[in-house]
Structure 1
């Protein structure tokens, strides 16, 4: 009988005496995929960090056994990294090089591989090979980590929400090289809130519920699709313009323009979606609209208070605890408490933000913005790391604030949001093209 590539038995793992995950046993063979899913905060990322030997570095504890091809391995990341490549959900935490090329070549050299720049082209990264890593988009960062993971020879790859920031073209590239990796006998564990993304692979499936397995076996479908249109209420958009961009140009120092003559207006009670390929400038556009960056040419008019919620929630926070971040040291209003309940945050209010999952931090950031009440909301990838139920709460919240007179712009790659917007635009070549 052929040994499994990866076997893990986790008795308990977590932070400061709190059992985030417990009583989990799993195994995966050569060329197989294990899909891990469950609600935000159920312990999926903690599971991957435990398998990779990273949880103790992150201030947590681990009690369990990891085996590679039947041989027990010390839960030391330096030992495990020889056999396991971990790709975090927040890609900026997995990059150490100064430029795209130096990070890629350094990582491959660690694993004894030659740096072949033609592979960067295959992953759509050659054109930005000399860009500094802090100047590339989250989607491009995620592609870079994919390339590194899939081009090494580790027996196991752990992907945490690999589609969070990725456009449709990027997903096709990922699938192509993932299938190549599987054909060579590598084992893959993937965390995803959207199981339907993996149905064609017929993977094994582990469903976590509050840190414990509620299902482990062959893939099963039947997850009800999110019907955005049923959540929206009819509302009449106003003629009052809250935000207006006229002939806006923007470029980073030493680079070609990212935005080229962008025109856009946002009215009261209007929800606008912005899509586009990775690296086309969606985040840059939101930052210019918010006033984080100044337009090089043209002008932006804002008529009302404005909030920009970035794709990395940690850049938004100014307090260590969710309670302080959401309530701002004031007595919670009934509105604030309703929002906290809607985003299922009551049990997290006194837990340090640094110890929350990516999805939980995003929920806190969105709740904080909604509680404060702004005229203009600029949301960058707000559904990243969120399960179906939290996305449903988010959509209802966005619809509600639009009804009360605010305007909302959402930059996203999430197909679940189809039907939310009054208008949607595609950013391509620095210009906005109206889709509808």
Structure 2
């Protein structure tokens, strides 16, 4: 009989970036507090589950003789085919192909993009202290609360309106560049519109710090005056909000170039390579390829690589696709991004309700955002009570069962390798792939 590695409970990492929510206002802090003390004065921005060296998870149930934790990655590498499954281990060289997170965003993250694999390799070789790995970083965010973000360039007609109605942008870019963009038609080939958009955005982002400071000050002054006689647009209100968070930053001005996306709980946004974006506020579950590569150019005190960002962007225009999840049954909806590394399921269980998770061929991540209950592993007698902040890694070919306890609904988010890899299309609940890491989360108002 095949020796199948058993599920393991994990201790996970956090990132205390300054844009995170503070103390117990942060779901990230609530999760982390299950196995660690928290500082009520610190921001808790990201809860990481996975093998990336910038925030590795370790096994709570295993340790060496000197009490040092066993890293999840080290444990996987002892027998990657058994833990990950043969196909996953072979395709991603014995590593977990995705990184799973929960984010608690109090103020805007940087205007950024993630490089494709080719550029990521170059950037890592040139500047490994900033670009810490050579992998790409496609990602997907599913809103736990109302979640606001900037994502992708606005459409052609909307950008024309921006160029004619925001005098500070006109002054920074110049009439010649604006004139070229105003001549663009919706029917023009993408390659032609891309060249023009790239030229005006690069011109904007390359403006001197002194000129940016003056333009942001003018914008703030003008909007504060006009707000007394008219209702400001959402984008104008956002610009004032960003200016309070990042005074004199080019990101305040360039925010007019991007779509302002507001997700309600259960809606998702996926972001591919070379797509500009910036998360603004809210809490979400996030899944991505195992990477921490970020090229930043605004709304940040960190290193800005403006030249790289402006040269790498795809410059696609139009509103991004919002995923609602495809219902698989009464309890499960699946979010399927166009990336092999991951997919995410949302599972809702009423009090006392159970779901069986059959053995499958690759690893996954589950996040329970409300409620509590139990997890049954390997055999009927192997059962743990689970609560907010518990995390389990379940290797390939294990069967588990989840049961909701308490009086309220239990909501679970699962992240796992995209089932396309296994040529698997589920037809009903008992067919769903659930190879899992489990996180139990509670969201607070």
- Normalized against structure 2, the TM-score is what? 0.27
Higher relative contact order (CA 8 A, sep 6+): 2
- Normalized against structure 1, the TM-score is what? 0.27
Please tell me whether Structure 1 or Structure 2 has the larger radius of gyration of its CA atoms.
Answer: 2
Structure with greater proportional helix content: 1
